[in-house]
Amino acid sequence: MSRFVKKCFDFLVATLALLLLAPLSGCLAIAIRLSMGSPVLFRQVRPGYQSKPFVLLKFRTMNSMCDTQGSLLADERRLTRLGRLLRRFSLDEIPQLWNVWKGEMSLVGPRPLLMEYLERYTPEQARRHDVKPGITGWAQVNGRNALSWEERFRLDVWYVDHWSLALDCRIILMTIRKVLLREGISQRGHATMPKFLGNNHAG
């Protein structure tokens, strides 16, 4: 029953948000197209509920600059001025409302990470996939990307064990505050988060 309530809440809020944000989304898409070219959207396969793969959507924030060998430059070098602005206010996350609308994500839940991380989790850390991934989550409002991986996974599992609709509403309100204050967007020295290399490197 609780999952059904959460699903209905997600669908209704995502539908309303997509309608209200449609003009802004259109303007952002045009700005990205003019400044970075095509594609406007960043698409990447991520693990969802029970680790089932889905295609995550975001507004593109990086260019495609490569080194002399043809390899992409580091994220912090490819992140554009517009991309920094989008990330600063979490505007790059708006397309994920489509993932929520389609039932692949929730408004609130552990953030969907990379597929390659699945084999690096401990059994306890892997429990973060016992719920749908979210646009925001308990880890995001308690440090976001400024957290260590170990702290982030601990908060993700805490959310899995303590979920309620009231907690989701609290996290959404806390997220709005975090975005406005621009807290925890990245770790020092990184454009976002460093890669998770496994539990020997999680701290």
| Share of residues in the chain with pLDDT > 90 (%) | 65
- pLDDT in the model for residue 67: 64
Mean pLDDT throughout 157-177? 93
The larger pLDDT score, comparing residue 3 to residue 140, is at 140
Between these two residues, 147 and 83, which has the higher pLDDT value? 83
Phi, psi of 59 (to 5 degrees): -70, 140
3-state secondary structure the chain: CHHHHHHHHHHHHHHHHHHHCHHHHHHHHHHHHHHHCCCCEEEEEEECHHHCEEEEEEECCECCCECCCCCECCHHHHECHHHHHHHHCCHHHCCHHHHHHCCCCEEECCCCCCHHHHHHCCHHHHHHHHCCCEEECCCHHHCHHHCCHHHHHHHHHHHHHHCCHHHHHHHHHHHHHHHHHCCCCCCCCCCCCCCCCCHHHCC
pLDDT of residue 184: 55
Q: What is the pLDDT of residue 203?
A: 45
Write down the pLDDT at residue 95.
97
Whole-number pLDDT of residue 9: 94
What is this structure's pTM?
Answer: 0.86
Where are the strands (E) in the chain, listed by range?
Answer: 41-47, 53-59, 106-108, 134-136
pLDDT recorded at residue 77:
73
Mean per-residue pLDDT, 123-130: 96
Q: What is the mean pLDDT of residues 131-148?
A: 88
Taking each helix axis from N to C end, the angle separating 22-36 and 81-88, rounded to the nearest 10 degrees, works out to 150
Task: Read off the amino acid at residue 185.
Answer: I
Domain spans of the chain, in order of start: 2-201
Q: Measuring CA to CA, how many Å separate 16 from each of 10, 21, 90, 146, 161?
A: 10, 9, 18, 31, 28
Instruction: Report, as an integer, the average pLDDT of 1-7.
Output: 83
| Rounded Cα distance, 180 and 15, in Å | 23
